[in-house]
Amino acid sequence: MKWKVRIEIMLKENILDPQGKAVKGGLNALGYKNVADVHVGKYMELIIADTDNQEDVNKQVDEMCQRLLANPVIEDYTFQVEKMEG
Amino acid sequence: MKWKVRIEIMLKENILDPQGKAVKGGLNALGYKNVADVHVGKYMELIIADTDNQEDVNKQVDEMCQRLLANPVIEDYTFQVEKMEG
Amino acid sequence: MKFAVITFPGSNCDRDVYHVTKEVLEQPTDMIWYNDKLDLSSYDCVILPGGFSYGDYLRAGAIARFSPLMESVTGYAKDGGLVLGICNGFQILLEAGLLPGAMKVNDSLKFVCKYTKLKVINAGTPFTNRYSKGEILNIPVAHREGNYYIDDEGLAELIANNQIVVKYLDDEENPNGSVVNIAGICNKEGNVFGLMPHPERCAESILGDGSKDGYELFASILDYVNKRGEKCG
Amino acid sequence: MAEKPWESEGLTKEEYDMIIDILGREPNKTELGMYGVMWSEHCSYKNSKPVLKRFPTEGKHVLQGPGENAGIIDIGDNQAISFKIESHNHPSAIEPYQGAATGVGGIIRDIFTMGARPIASLNSLRFGELDDEHVRYLFAGVVEGIAGYGNCIGIPTVAGEVYFSNAYKGNPLVNAMCVGIMDHEDISTGRAAGVGNPVMVVGAATGRDGIQGASFASDELTEESEEDRPAVQVGDPFMEKLLLEASLELIKTGALVGIQDMGAAGLTSSASEMASRGGTGIELDIDLVPKREEGMTPYEVMLSESQERMLVVPKKGKEKLVKEIFSKWGLHAAVIGKVTGDGMIRVLNKGEVVAEVPARSLADDAPVYQRESRRPDYLDEVQNYDLSRLIEPTDYNQSLLEVLGSPNIASKEWVYQQYDHMVLVNTVVLPGSDAAVLRIKGTKKGLAMTTDGNGRYCYLDPERGGAIAVAEAARNIVCSGAKPLAITDGLNFGNPMDPEIFWQFEKSVDGISQACRALNTPVTGGNVSFYNESPEGAIYPTPVIGMVGLLEDINLATTHHFKDEEDIIILLGETKEELGGSEYLKVVHNLEVGRIPELDLGLEKKVQETCLEAIKAGIVKSAHDCSDGGLAVNLAESCISSGLGARIKIETDLPPAALLFSESQSRIVITVTKDNLAKVEELAKKHAIPFTKLGEVMGDRLIINNLIDLEVEEMKRRWQESIPSRMEE
Ligand SMILES: Nc1ncnc2c1ncn2[C@@H]1O[C@H](COP(=O)(O)OP(=O)(O)O)[C@@H](O)[C@H]1O
Ligand SMILES: [Mg+2]
């Protein structure tokens, strides 16, 4: 079976996010004064094949995030797994 | 009212994604042979204040994406808006 | 002739370009602050230098292109003024829509700083008239987002209009993976030119490996402007 | 308060009692935190101060020696340069990208704080060996972090070194150096003078980043380090670029009394050091400090190590000017207090005094310890190892290729190609030669700069190893055509409480001092990093020397690449049978033992003078310091970088391995045209140094006696592919 995984990776709460700050500044300067806060992180989409069991996919993706995709020292991540057609 | 906006920005389908390719290679090398495809994009969280109407937020965010947050020449985006407590 | 060099917050090659136009080429040059909304019509050429405007956060050039001065630059370009974007300046021109296409991160995902061999494709622009078509140049690059992308249709148009000005010599010389080895392009009218390599870094033979190929680019502009002056006058 | 409140701040009971003595009462939590960071090894140098006094720090060029944020050297024509090296080892071990990036940011601030415009960065790196996945992760991350910060801020990273050894596996070393240039009248100091003058914070807002970072740096890395580390600091090079421009603009106005960056121990160290240097006090109000996060306690605000901030003391009435300049660059500037006459650091919060301690006691009166020192037992064993029993290789071509392919010798292009080394359009000699050379715009002059150190040598003999690091740095400077001026030192060692480690430290300092005296290169500043240990043990004792030299005429800048066929290749100095500690021994025999090469500082000086005189006479076409890897590697490098071969014929009684790979000191290989051979010989005679004609530049092969016969292309491949192939695994 095939699975589509969506992963969102963000800097931890109180870690400085220079990108977010710059984007907020940019949006405010463009006139969007009501943008109160911006954080910028990473988004990934994975296709996982040949795995029959959603539990296994969950476990594997969590491991991948820990080992490679995210940097647990400064980042948090969340993900959703969804079964694919066909 | 305050709104939390989650934006996902990705390279368009048919555009080569060097980051996705590298991450896939990395995962395969780590032993995750069943990872069939990877795409890497950006994830953003915005807090929008002082707007009472979800429609307005939607419209505004769409405009922000078009003008600044995404580059329409190479990127697609999607977003969700959610009302915040308090 | 008179040059204008724009400083955006985070520009870091602004003084380098200024050094070349002012000290090496010995032409009057003004440094202009991004936040001014000036009339640029008294300048013969406006240069957007390299660097990391706004830290290159989000995308290189994405935030800088909304600077107040960029409105003036757009008007100036529409009126036929010469605009040169180097590296980050090129990225800003793309984001601003003054040139077609977009930049992706280098295929290597790494910043790369080295001399590259370029081939002149169009020697008929105001920026390249001292080169000859097919001439090989040695000009350094330094960027992490120089992987030029344009769709097939756009590419066909670039080719049809002779808008590809310089290419990396071949696939091996291409430091970033850009489409058909594009290193620099101009607009249809030929008055707006953007390139990833840094001509200001090879305008004096004392530097690095001694190439002076970049000097000729600035000298081309000077020649062009002087000739145009003769014609008008 | 807790039962042993000093423990959580990294202090001892005795130190706690000293604080009670100073205050005449128990300190509160905020005060204790302030002492904790200021009396940490990182800030107070409490274990190293007495030893560092041995350094020669004076010279006629020295405008500012150790004690300020960075040293300053006069280079004539009313210009001066400021430079310093700094370690960021532990942060880089935890988070390689940000650790290295913020290290670069910190040292750059030290330089522009002095009023200098930074013109170049260098970096000295040590990692475990590249067959380890985590090591590769650290190496890649550190290099990317240095690139990420340096490239963005627009200061070229022009030189450095990278060295791999298992001794650094659990504790990499990341030392960053910055060099800046200024006019004499712009020299600034970190002094808070003039009672009543305002005290302002400029730059980034304060968050909870890196609280207790200084104490963290003053402890060993353990399994738990990943857990109890302070919040990782994230660098914002864009912010620092703005801060740099705004600060230099402000300094030019003459409105400033003092300026100091906020590095380790943040507001506490900058305020107490500025007050202490000025003989004043500072009163500041927590409420007025711009904050990034809500609900920060006075303790957190005083100890935060948020990056890209400075403390400035303008003349009274100039507050508005400061704000205007910073707001032009989009930055905050906030008055947070004032200079007082009572010598106290007084911290107010919501109208209440939350800390009140003498500035001097924080900045200068930390206890100083004379640690116990003992010659380590391992030394006899490693030094007396019998090298005469080693079997000579059968194929020297193979051995040379192996040595060239060692990541320690191999091309570092993979590293420096990621660094923008050309921005600011000053780089005359690019990375890849012995030292980087930069022109000084508007003059005929140039600056040469390098970092050098050899941990393996220092492990086998810390004193001589320290001296050799200085000698090699100077030789690199001389080979580029410059006269060595002064050094900054990065001293990386294990736990100083261990008498054997402390002995290594003392001896290294002695060796550095001797060489600096002999070569006339005073120490203008530096950095001590102790506690570089992991569960596997301490790192090799690793003093790193950052040296700067001056070229009177930039046109004399010299590289190590061979230039033309038929040029004559000459060795200045002499090759001896000295394979102890060599790269050859490590690579071919897997041994890190032996007596390291002798160093005769008198001869060293004469060899350097000869080389420099020849360069000044305009007859030297290439010059290359002969050290790591020995003569064969030296010649191979000059071939590889030029694509030209060489034919070498040497008469010698040395065993072949020693001839090719011995790392004898005080040797430089130069090339000249045939016509100038006699001139060099004369110079060598005049200085009474050994001189040997080795052969000539020729063809596309390197041929040495009947030992080596290799295509330059083949050597190049091995040398060039070594690091990339390991990193792409
Ligand atoms: N980390 C680094 N950053 C920048 N340049 C480096 C780095 N490591 C090595 N280099 C450059 O590579 C060249 C070779 O380095 P190295 O073998 O250490 O030289 P040497 O033995 O002459 O001191 C030098 O020009 C050096 O500056
Ligand atoms: Mg050398």
Joined tokens for residue A57: 């996919």
pLDDT bucket at D222, cuts 50 / 70 / 90: low
Output the CA D519–ligand 2 centroid distance in Å. 17
Determine whether D42 is an active site residue.
Answer: yes
- Chain C residues with beta carbon closer than 8 angstroms to that of B73: 94, 101-102, 149
Checking if the pLDDT of C231 tops 70, the result is: no
Chains meeting C at 3+ CB pairs closer than 8 A?
A, B, D
Residue with tokens 């589509």: A4
pTM metric for this prediction = 0.95
The Cα angle at residue D637 between residues D656 and D552, in degrees rounded to 5: 120
Domain boundaries, chain A: 3-83
Instruction: Give the DSSP H/E element, type plus range, for residue D360.
Output: helix D359-363
Question: Angle, nearest 10°, between helix axes A18-29 and D237-253?
Answer: 70
CB contact under 8 A, B68 and C107: no
pLDDT bucket at C233, cuts 50 / 70 / 90: very low
Chains meeting A at 3+ CB pairs closer than 8 A?
B, C, D
Does residue D667 or residue C37 have the better pLDDT? Answer: D667
Which residue's C-alpha comes closest to atom 8 of ligand 1?
D161
Q: Are A23 and A40 in contact (CB under 8 A)?
A: yes
Q: Where are the beta strands (DSSP E) in D133-255?
A: 157-164, 173-183, 198-203
Output the CA D631–ligand 2 centroid distance in Å. 12
Chains meeting B at 3+ CB pairs closer than 8 A?
A, C
Given C19, C111, C201, which is nearest D147 (Cβ)?
A: C111
CA distance to D2, D36, D367, per residue, from D28 (Å): 11, 12, 20
Instruction: Give the DSSP H/E element, type plus range, for residue D303.
Output: helix D298-303
pLDDT, residue D459, reads: 98
Checking if the pLDDT of D290 tops 60, the result is: yes
pLDDT, residue C232, reads: 59
Checking if the pLDDT of D426 tops 90, the result is: yes
List the D446-452 sheet strands across, edge first. Answer: D427-429, D436-439, D446-452, D542-551, D483-492, D523-529
| Residues with pLDDT less than 50, chain A | none
pLDDT, residue D4, reads: 87
CA distance to D32, D38, D548, D572, per residue, from D20 (Å): 10, 16, 45, 62
CB contact under 8 A, C62 and A19: no
- Chain C residues with beta carbon closer than 8 angstroms to that of A30: 66
Q: Are D55 and D281 in contact (CB under 8 A)?
A: no
Which residue's C-alpha comes closest to atom 16 of ligand 1?
D161
Kindly report, residue by residue over C194-230, the tens digit of the pLDDT. 999 999 999 999 999 999 999 999 999 999 999 987 7
Joined tokens for residue D379: 């030394």
Checking if the pLDDT of D226 tops 60, the result is: no
- Chain C residues with beta carbon closer than 8 angstroms to that of A26: 54, 58, 62-63, 66
Percent of chain D's residues with pLDDT above 90: 91
DSSP class of D543: E
DSSP chain C: --EEEEE-TTB-SHHHHHIIIIIIS---EEEEETT-----TT-SEEEE--B-GGGG-SSTTTTGGGSHHHHHHHHHHHTT-EEEEETHHHHHHHHTTSSSSEEE--TTSS-EEEEEEEEES---STTTTTS-TT-EEEEEEEESS-EEE--HHHHHHHHHTT-EEEEESSTTT-SS--GGGEEEEE-TTS-EEEESS-GGGGSSTTSTT---HHHHHHHHHHHHHHHHHHHH-
Checking if the pLDDT of D669 tops 70, the result is: yes
Q: Tell me which residues have their CB closer than 6 angstroms to ligand 1.
A: D 123, 125, 157, 159-162, 412, 415-416, 419, 431-434, 452, 476, 625, 627-628
Catalytic residue among D42, D61, D560, D561: D42
Q: Are C199 and C85 in contact (CB under 8 A)?
A: no
Please compute the mean of the pLDDT values over residues D312-334 and round it to a whole number.
Answer: 95
Determine whether D88 is an active site residue.
Answer: yes
Give the residue numbers of C marked as catalytic.
Answer: 87, 198, 200
CB contact under 8 A, D209 and A71: no
Fold of B3-83: Mth169; Chain: A , (3.30.1280)
Distance CA D376, CA D534 (A): 19
CB contact under 8 A, D428 and C52: no
Checking if the pLDDT of D230 tops 70, the result is: no
Kindly report, residue by residue over C140-162, the tens digit of the pLDDT. 999 999 999 999 999 999 999 99
> What is the position in ligand 1's atom list of the atom closest to the CA of D433?
25
Kindly report, residue by residue over D498-557, the tens digit of the pLDDT. 999 999 999 999 999 999 999 999 999 999 999 999 998 999 999 999 999 999 999 999
Q: Which of D85, D158, D161, D163 has the most ligand 1 atoms within 8 A of CB, as the residue to mutate?
A: D161
| Chain B touched by A65 (CB under 8 Å) | no
| Chain A touched by B39 (CB under 8 Å) | yes
Cβ neighbours of residue C200 under 8 Å, at least 6 residues apart?
Answer: C13, C16, C17, C19, C20, C49, C86, C214, C218, D425
pLDDT, residue D3, reads: 79
Q: Which residue of C has its CA nearest to D330?
A: C9
DSSP D489-505: EEEE-S-TTSHHHHHHH
Checking if the pLDDT of D223 tops 60, the result is: no
Given D241, D417, D441, which is nearest C19 (Cβ)?
A: D441
Q: Which residue of B has its CA nearest to C108?
A: B18
Neighbours of A83 (CB within 10 A): 10
Which residue's C-alpha comes closest to atom 5 of ligand 1?
D159
Which residue's C-alpha comes closest to atom 14 of ligand 1?
D432
- Rounded to a whole number, what is the largest CA-CA distance in chain A? 50
Minimal CA–CA distance to A40: which of A68, A9, A62? A9
Instruction: Give the DSSP H/E element, type plus range, for residue D637.
Output: helix D630-642
CB contact under 8 A, D292 and A16: yes
pLDDT, residue D42, reads: 86
Kindly report, residue by residue over D324-379, the tens digit of the pLDDT. 999 999 998 999 999 999 999 999 999 999 999 999 999 999 999 999 999 999 99
Q: Which residue of A has its CA nearest to B46?
A: A38
Cβ neighbours of residue D561 under 8 Å, at least 6 residues apart?
Answer: D433, D622, D638, D641, D642
Does residue D295 or residue D630 have the better pLDDT? Answer: D630
**pLDDT, averaged across chain D:** 95
Percent of chain B's residues with pLDDT above 70: 99
Joined tokens for residue D618: 């305009």
pLDDT, residue D10, reads: 87
CB contact under 8 A, C54 and A30: no
pLDDT, residue D225, reads: 52
Torsion of CA C159, C161, C162, C168, to 10 degrees: -40
Q: Which residue of C has its CA nearest to A27?
A: C63
Which residue's C-alpha comes closest to atom 13 of ligand 1?
D432
Please compute the mean of the pLDDT values over residues B12-39 and round it to a whole number.
Answer: 93
Distance CA D324, CA D330 (A): 10
All structural domains of chain C, each given as residue ranges with its CATH number in brackets, are 3-232 (3.40.50.880)
Whole-angstrom Cα Rg for chain C: 16
Distance CA C54, CA D105 (A): 17
Q: Which residue of A has its CA nearest to C10?
A: A22
Kindly report, residue by residue over C101-135, the tens digit of the pLDDT. 999 999 999 999 999 999 999 999 999 999 999 99
CB contact under 8 A, A26 and C66: yes
- Chain D residues with beta carbon closer than 8 angstroms to that of C208: 422, 427-428, 430
pLDDT, residue D224, reads: 53
